[in-house]
Amino acid sequence: MQDVHKNRSRVFVVGLSFVFLLFLYRIGTLQLVDDKYEKRAINNALNKITLYPARSVIYDRFGKIIAKNAASYDLFIFPKEEKVDNRLFIQQILQIDSNQYNKLLTEAWINSKKRQKNNAYNRSAIFYSNLNQQQYTALRENLYRLSGFYIEPRTDRAYEIFGGAHAFGYLGEASEQLLKEDPYYQPGDLVGITGIERYYEEFMRGTKGIKTVWQDRTYKQRGEVQDQAFNYPAKSGPDFYATIDIELQKFAEELFNGKRGSVVAIEPSTGEVLAFLNKPDYNPNDLVGQDRARSFRKMLIDPKKPLYNRAVKGVYPPGSTVKTVLALIGLQEGIIHPGSTKGCGGGYRMGNIVVGCHPHGGPLDVVGSIRISCNSYYCGLFREIIDHPKYGSTHNGYRVLERYWRSFGLGDPTGIDLLGESSGNVPTVERLAKRHGKKWRSSMVISLGIGQGEILLTPLQLANVAAILANRGYYIPPHLLKKVNGLKNNGLKEEYRTKKIIPIDAKHFETVIEGMSQVMKPGGTANGIGINGIEICGKTGTAQNPHGKDHSLFIAFAPRNNPKIAIGVIVENGGFGATYAAPIASLMIEKYLMRDTASSKQFMIDRLKSTVLEPQ
């Protein structure tokens, strides 16, 4: 038979070869152009699981554990794998309704998308944080059938001692803004919000680790990636030793029971903060775990403002406590000398203005004026300083005074390792001009001489003045970090290791300190509040304020020679300085120096603990 179409076999060979080449070209464009498919394949199959580090354990200055870590569990979800069938079950366990469930799911979708942008390896997102024990157990047992869900362990704070809340601060979930600014954080991460938890967040949080696992299409883990480059363990935050003496702190908190105010105690030679207390305060243990959000909301709207950090944010007229500073300035400027006396007719009179003074005998020298806290003396001294002819004008004289005040750390933040510290207020010439007119005279601002009027200090600044007096002319900015082993300089910033010198000679300090010592002795404003065997130097203050009863203030340090503790106390609406502030300071000093208080003081302690100034 004749095969007329034999040449068509060639068409076949050419045609087939052509199709093969066409396909080969297409495959070449997939494989050889770039590595985008390879990257996508890797992204598909690897899941980087975050290993959460433990936060720094917080110790007090003597090594007592204050805050450590407890395991907590968050429920995560791969939103794509979520199944409608399981919803009811999960809603029951978490005790949420379907609306809440849908809201959580929507959030998870959004977070999952965001997460993919930052870290293409993980498509999951947090669904529900801080499972309680019951929820955790119930979910864990059923996890195998809850498609798309998994539980991630992380750590939360667990407090051993409930004290120093405002110093140590609390944790909260990373805010929207933080997530935007710092890619280290993922939604649901706990970060320090206030206190040293916030200030030292960067090293207290530790370093997250990563475990890379193979994962299949259904997000089931299929074993660890062996390559070490893909796995590194979480690194815990280093042990954090705070400067706080927690026993002293707790003692002070008890004494302050039912009162409103603040105490800061500082070790003068180092600037270390020994006690840092605000009342009202809160129990740090309320701001952990599942109750965190609820408690937090409650505290936010609480009229007592338990979250308010008065010690660094609250500003108070310092009252007579700053007479010590004015005396030093007068002495240094040579406007008075230790023997300069002034008479007091029960008040300071200028025309028809009278600044009242309590009854006391005879003309007083510097020491006596501090012991008695004579208003006339300091009103006079204030005018003498700023009106002194050597400065040319009252305003120039005031500028000299203001410079001295600022050298004491007044009117500027002290630089403590907490965020949001207030500067207090030391008015400038211009500021006073706004208030009293361009041509203000010394008589118009006379109350500044006795710590009233425009001058406002934070309790921390007040305590720092006590530390400066104790040091006879210098201070180290107060701070809450004692040491972190393994960090350079124990983690202390340069400024916490550098003395700030006040331009006043030490001999002038001795004069003022003698006066402060006599405050605690017969004839002094705080007579009978001292301690046997320890010489305390103190100064009372009773600050008028427009909001109600006078504030009770006290600054002190002890012992007189080689002081170990300086302290500033404000009891809001507590009346005379000697009524509440001075005994609290004295008891705290005793507690700190003797590690206990004499039994004879028990009466005083009980009285303070049971006095409720603020309606509960």
Partner 1 sequence: MKYQYSSSDNNKMDIWGVFFYILLVAIGFINIFSVTSDVNQTSLVLSDIAYKQLFFIGGAIVIILTLSFANVVLIDYLSYYVYAIVILLNIAVLFIGKEVGGAKSWFGFGGFGIQPSEFLKLATSMALAKFLGGYGMRFSGWRNVTYSIGIFLFPVILILLQNDTGSALVYFSFFLVLYREGMPGYIIILAFWMGLLTILSIVFQGLEISSYYLVGTILGVGSIAVYFARKSRQWVVLITFIAVSSAVFSTIVGIVYDKVFQWYQKDRIEIVLGLKEDKQGMGYNLDQSKVAIGAGRFIGRGFQNGTQTKMGFVPEQHTDFIFCTIGEEWGFVGVIVFFSAFLGLLIRLIQLSERQSDAYGRILGYSVCCILFFHWFVNIGMTIGLIPVIGIPLPFVSAGGSSLWGFTLLLFTFLRYDQVRRN
Task: Give the Cα separation of 417 and 195 in Å (integer).
Answer: 8
Q: Which of 431, 405, 425 is nearest to 502 (CA)?
A: 405
Tell me the window of 126-134, 216-224, 415-423, 567-575 that interacts with partner 1 (CB under 8 A): 216-224
For Cα atoms 605, 611, 616, give the angle at the middle one, nearest 5 degrees: 135
Name which of 140 and 222 has its Cβ closer to partner 1.
222
> Which residue lies nearer to partner 1 by CB, 39 or 434?
39
Least distance (Å) between residue 116 CB and partner 1: 13
| Binding residues among 68-127 for partner 1 as defined by CB under 8 A | 80
Q: Which is nearer to partner 1, 25 or 144 (CB)?
A: 25
- Alpha-carbon gap, residue 518 to 539, rounded angstroms: 9
Q: Which of these, 585, 566, 558, 540, lies nearest to 262 by C-alpha position?
A: 585
By beta-carbon proximity to partner 1, the closer residue of 5 and 439 is 5
Map the footprint of partner 1 across residues 265-294, applying CB under 8 A. none
CB of 21 to partner 1, least distance (A): 9
H or E element at residue 87: helix 87-94
Q: How many CB atoms lie within 10 A of CB 253?
A: 19
Among residues 214, 298, 346, 523, the one that binds partner 1 under rule CB under 8 A? 214
**Nearer CB in complex with partner 1: 36/439:** 36
C-alpha distances in angstroms, 473 versus 325, 402, 414, 428, 593? 11, 17, 16, 23, 23
Cis peptide before 413 (omega within 30 of 0): no
CA distances from 364 to 71, 328, 374, 402 (A): 65, 16, 8, 26
Separation between Cα atoms, residue 541 and residue 552, nearest integer Å = 6
- State in angstroms the smallest separation of the CB of 38 from partner 1: 4
Least distance from C-beta 45 to partner 1, angstroms?
A: 3
Calpha distance 451→424 (Å, rounded): 13
Nearer to partner 1, 32 or 84 (CB): 32
Q: Which of 92, 106, 157, 160 is closest to 130 using CA atoms? A: 157
Q: Which of residues 8-47 bind partner 1 (CB under 8 A)?
A: 8-9, 12-13, 16-17, 19-20, 23-24, 26-28, 30-32, 35-38, 40-42, 44-46
Q: How far apart are CA 319 and CA 129, in angstroms?
A: 49
User: Which residue, 10 or 488, has its beta carbon nearer to partner 1?
Assistant: 10
Helix (H, G, I), strand (E, B) or coil at 148: coil
Q: Does 337 bind partner 1 (CB under 8 A)?
A: no
Q: Which is nearer to partner 1, 125 or 331 (CB)?
A: 125
Strands (E) across 53-143 are located at 58-59, 65-77, 125-128
**Alpha-carbon span 204 to 170, nearest angstrom:** 12
Interface size with partner 1, residues (CB under 8 A): 41
In the bound complex, what is the minimum distance in angstroms from residue 30's beta carbon to partner 1?
4
What region, left, alpha or beta, does residue 329 occupy, with left being phi > 0 and alpha being psi -120 to 50 degrees? alpha
- Taking CB under 8 A as the criterion, which residues in 222-241 touch partner 1? 222-224, 226
Q: How far is the CB of 121 from partner 1 (least distance, A)?
A: 13
Based on its alpha-carbon atoms, the radius of gyration of the chain, rounded to whole angstroms, reads 34
By beta-carbon proximity to partner 1, the closer residue of 13 and 84 is 13
Compute the least distance from the CB of residue 26 to partner 1, in Å: 5
- Among residues 250, 249, 257, 264, the alpha carbon closest in space to that of 279 is found at 257
Among 70, 218, 312, 609, binds partner 1 (CB under 8 A): 218
SS3 category, 173: strand
User: What counts of helices (H) and strands (E) characterise the chain?
Assistant: 21, 20
Q: For partner 1, which is the closer residue by CB, 62 or 214? A: 214
31/489 with CB nearer partner 1: 31
Binding residue (CB under 8 A) for partner 1 from 5, 117, 488, 547 = 5
Q: How far apart are CB 79 and partner 1 at their closest, in Å? A: 12
CA distances from 128 to 90, 184, 392, 510 (A): 11, 20, 70, 62
DSSP structure class, residue 355: E
Q: What is the nearest approach in angstroms of partner 1 to the Cβ of residue 25? A: 10
Which residue in 137, 197, 201, 217 binds partner 1 (CB under 8 A)? 217
- In the complex, minimum distance from the CB of residue 221 to partner 1, in angstroms, rounded to a whole number: 10
CB of 77 to partner 1, least distance (A): 17
Least spacing, CB of residue 226 vs partner 1, in Å: 7
* Ranges within 178-197 binding partner 1 (CB under 8 A): none
- Would you say 17 or 118 has its CB closer to partner 1? 17
Contacting residue, 56, 112, 130, 215, with partner 1 by CB under 8 A: 215
**Rule CB under 8 A: which residues touch partner 1?**
1, 3-6, 8-9, 12-13, 16-17, 19-20, 23-24, 26-28, 30-32, 35-38, 40-42, 44-46, 80, 214-218, 222-224, 226
